[in-house]
Amino acid sequence: MAIEEEIWKELTAGKTPNELIEAGYKKPTVYKVYRKFKRGTPRETTSSWKVIKQNFSQERYLPSQQGSVTFTLKNTSNSDLYVYRTGIQPEWMKKEWYALDSRVLLYPSEEKQFSIAFEIPELPLGEYAIRFGIECQHLPSTGGTPSELQLHWSEPTHINIKNPRTGYKTFISHSIKDMYLIRPLENYLDNYGIDPIIAEDHREPGSYLPKKFEQLIGESHFFLGVLTKNSIKSEWVIHETNYALKINKPSILLVEEGAPVRTSIEWTPFRMDEPVESIVEKVLKDINELRQKITRKTPDAQDAGKILSLIGVAVVAFLG
């Protein structure tokens, strides 16, 4: 099941976007599906303006960095809109917002571009919600009384507080029964600039699955096999793991303690009740060691090709 289908199913079951985000789903994907989900559902809000364009100065920011966002507002009402202030409210600002005195008049259908600078405090890496706001009032075209000056907010979007992308892709072999672990693991790897590849998120209707999985593994820089008591029962996990080893793909075997795995390949143990941060720390350490082994030019490292060749002829067997 693809990630958007997972989210849709959870929303249908009554879960809220915040509950799904807390469960490890990415904010932009949750917001995207939620917008589709609520289309056609009666709502009280009748916004008379909207943000039609937005452009952050960077794709990703680090804590303590400064940034800016440029956005375009459009008056979607039939009356003139006096914009007193515009601004943004990131998730880390609960009762405040970055505001800019604007004092401009927007005629119906008119657009105006604004730019706001902001500062990022010391925060844990991740995705943070951000809303655009305007303090405004409607001016009647002929006579009448202007509306009161009110503060209105847009639907949330997100900002990435993450390490820069490293360019490295990691294919994650897993069981769908372990998604409660895989989704947070995916997010943490992304936070550190590593692109996690999860096969079911790359939909190719009608494709031959073994070929699809092998292509994704081949295009990745690293293979991460999450071998749990659930996943070792999956024929796909067995196929993916042995294929990665067969083609000499630099591989990390993350094995749950107690899972009946038998292999001559050194693995990294973990516990299912272990904090995800601790598991990610192990994976990052293993990835860095593999990178050094491949790129190092010392005599020992020159034997890396031979080491990988030996890995390539090995297979993983599961005791049942």
pLDDT digits (tens, 9 = 90+) for 193-231: 999 999 999 988 889 999 999 999 999 999 999 999 999
Q: Tell whether 95 and 120 lie within a shared domain.
A: yes
Query: Would you say residue 40 lies in a domain?
Result: no
Q: Is residue 175 part of a domain?
A: yes
When pLDDT is cut at 50, 70 and 90, the band that residue 144 belongs to is: low
Cβ-contact 2, 203 below 8 angstroms = yes
The CATH number of the domain holding residue 123 is 2.60.40.10
**Out of 42-51, 67-76, 215-224, 235-244, least confident range:** 42-51
Percent of the chain with pLDDT over 90: 65
Residue 234 pLDDT > 50: yes
Do 129 and 252 fall within a single domain?
Answer: no
Non-local CB neighbours of 103 within 8 Å, separated by 6+ positions: 82, 83, 84
Q: What is the pLDDT of residue 44?
A: 39
Q: Are residues 134 and 237 in the same domain?
A: no
Cα separation, 58 vs 68, in Å, equals 8
**CA atoms of 168 and 295, how far apart (whole Å):** 14
CATH number, residue 310: 3.40.50.10140
Given a contact cutoff of 8 angstroms between Cβ atoms, the answer to whether 114 and 101 are in contact is no
Same domain, 183 and 110: no
Task: Please name the residue that has the structure tokens 């292999």.
Answer: 263
**121, 117, 133: which is closest to 93 by C-alpha?**
121
Residue 273 domain-assigned? yes
Residue 296 clears pLDDT 80, i.e. is over it: no
- Domain end, chosen from 137, 161, 185, is at 161
In this predicted structure, the answer to whether residue 303 has a pLDDT above a threshold of 60 is no
The predicted structure's pLDDT at residue 59: 96
Q: Does residue 276 have a pLDDT over 60?
A: yes
Domain boundary at 99, 127, 161, which? Answer: 161
Position 22 confidence tier, pLDDT thresholds 50, 70, 90: confident
Q: Per-residue confidence at 318, pLDDT binned at 50, 70, 90?
A: very low
pLDDT digits (tens, 9 = 90+) for 33-59: 877 776 644 343 446 899 999 999 999
Same domain, 187 and 295: yes
User: Are 181 and 153 within one domain?
Assistant: no
Return the closest-CA partner of residue 90 out of 110, 59, 117: 117
Q: Give residue 143's pLDDT band: very low, low, confident or very high (50, 70, 90).
A: low
Query: 154 and 256: one domain?
Result: no
102 and 51 in a common domain: yes
DSSP 8-class letter at 76: -
29 with 53, same domain? no
Task: Domain of residue 256: give its range.
Answer: 169-318
The reply to whether 157 and 246 lie within a common domain is no
Instruction: Summarize the confidence of residues 77-101 as an average pLDDT.
Output: 93
The answer to whether the CB of 261 falls within 8 A of the CB of 316 is yes
At residue 224, the pLDDT reads 97
Check residue 21 and give its pLDDT. Answer: 82
Q: Comparing C-alpha atoms, which of 62, 250, 281 is closest to residue 188?
A: 281
| Contacts of range 230-238, beta carbons closer than 8 Å, 24 or more positions apart | 230/175, 230/177, 230/178, 231/173, 231/174, 231/175, 231/177, 231/178, 232/259, 232/260, 232/261, 232/318, 232/320, 233/175, 233/318, 233/320, 234/175, 236/173, 236/209, 237/173, 237/174, 237/175, 238/316, 238/318
Least confidently predicted of 22-26, 188-192, 259-263:
22-26
